[in-house]
A and B are shown apart, each in its own frame.
Chain A
Amino acid sequence: MSSDIAGRRFSDIVFDLFSNVTFTTGFMIVAAVAIIAVLADIISPYPPLEFVAEPLLPPSELHPFGTDDLGRDLFSMTLHGSRVSLMVGITAAVISTLVGIAVGLTSGIVRGVLDMFTMRVIDFLLSLPYLAIALAILSFLKPNMMIIIMIIVVLSWIPTAKVVRAHTFSIMESLYVEAAKAMGAGRFYIAIKHILPNVVPITLSSLVLNVRDAILFEASLSFLGLGDPSSVSWGTILFFARRAGAFAANVWWYIVPPGFMIMLTVLGFTLMAIGLDEVLNPRLKKTQ
């Protein structure tokens, strides 16, 4: 029972997932980026933030992606950038999904005043302009990776919480929960035993979407120059490019690699999320 998710065996789900083209494609992209991120130190030919050559050299054998306006190797920077982007994206998404599940589940089961209160907090947070809030916070706190992750978490647990809460409501109405209640099961028991297994598959795809959103959010913060200056991410490279006026100067090798990597990673996670939804969401599941 413990390895079951929504009544299906775990290994079955894995095989279902990998026979889904969309999921597998997304997974391949993400896996490749992840391996590059892990091996960045070994693969990259130069330290990412050292000035190693003449500025603005076009791509060559020495510098596959050329160099930037301060003479740093863009290939090494792009490789190292994947590290920050993925780390921030995955950590922030996991934390915010866990927070979302916890809040949604509690709110859905306890109901009453607590539910009222959480929903008003959620309404309030939904009405905030995220980027503006993040900019305001970062003007007062020193930006480092932890702060950026925390900001993303604070601003992105809401959709998960809302989805989980709604599902909790509908499951609470179902017959087997009624039956469990009749047999004297407590709220906590029902939450863990009956609701959580039904909610997890839905949150899996929103987890993956959260990763995507977090990566984009980190990139936009860094692009505005508010990223962690001691490390390099794709958004930071784009910030450097904009500062150097690379867009009008036809220095395409400055913009294309980080931009392409952001696009590719986001695409990978989106495909994964779509695949997960197709396989796990019973309504979308293709009839076999």
Chain B
Amino acid sequence: MTLPAVLVLFLFTLGPALYAFFLSLFSWSLLNKMHYVGLSNFAFIFASHLFWTAVWNTASFAFIVVPTQTLVALFIAVLLNQNLPARGFLRLAFFFPAVSSSAVISIIFMWIYNKFGILNGLLAVVGIHGPNWLANPLFALKSIMIMNIWTTSGYFMVVFLSGLQAIPQNIYDAAEMDGANSWQRFSRITVPLLKPTTFFVVIMGVIGTLQMFDQSFILSGGTGGPLHSTTTLVLLIYQYIFSYGKVGYGAAVTVILFAFTMIATLIVNRWLGKSIEY
């Protein structure tokens, strides 16, 4: 009964992961004959400036986006968990971007970030002369970060909301009886009891941001520009196959990306994963 599922999962998830290790030891352009080169693909990658730029871009993307989206999501969820009018509507409004297509959202933001777009139009009202966001290496990646936070916060908000609703109300009532103010109730009850949810949100955030591709690809027209400022590791993998025809290099970056993801997950696990007992 599990056979079809196991077959497909093996063919398109586990198998590829193993296959990447194998391919990273070969030199191959998809068209010529493969030949074994040992670890020299890795030597090339580690000596390549472009690779380190991609590592820097991917890491800073994760470092800024994950904490911000987690805090924004938690903030909105806590507010939404109050007894407020139009809760259903508000939840819907925050969640909707997360179910829309990343391609469509990227196109919409490309238009918003345009030099003569609505963002600069709004900034002009308060007297700020906005840059050409996506064509400026200083701002391009930051623009994608903002877009990404805008898209995913609402999704993680719903995750937090379901975590919040699992906390029994009588704990809050008891704390209030004992004279705890609302900040104390938040920091002493909500935050510790939400830890499993926070763990999940951070892990999914880390995994998601380290694999960022669609937004960079679309907003930079596939180049990772300007000046490689939006080249992420996955975009680099894509370019190694489709622009440079270097399967071995791409596979080596894939293997390195696995390692990074694993290390990041372990760190998060160390930090948030332990004390789930309460």
Does B bind A? no
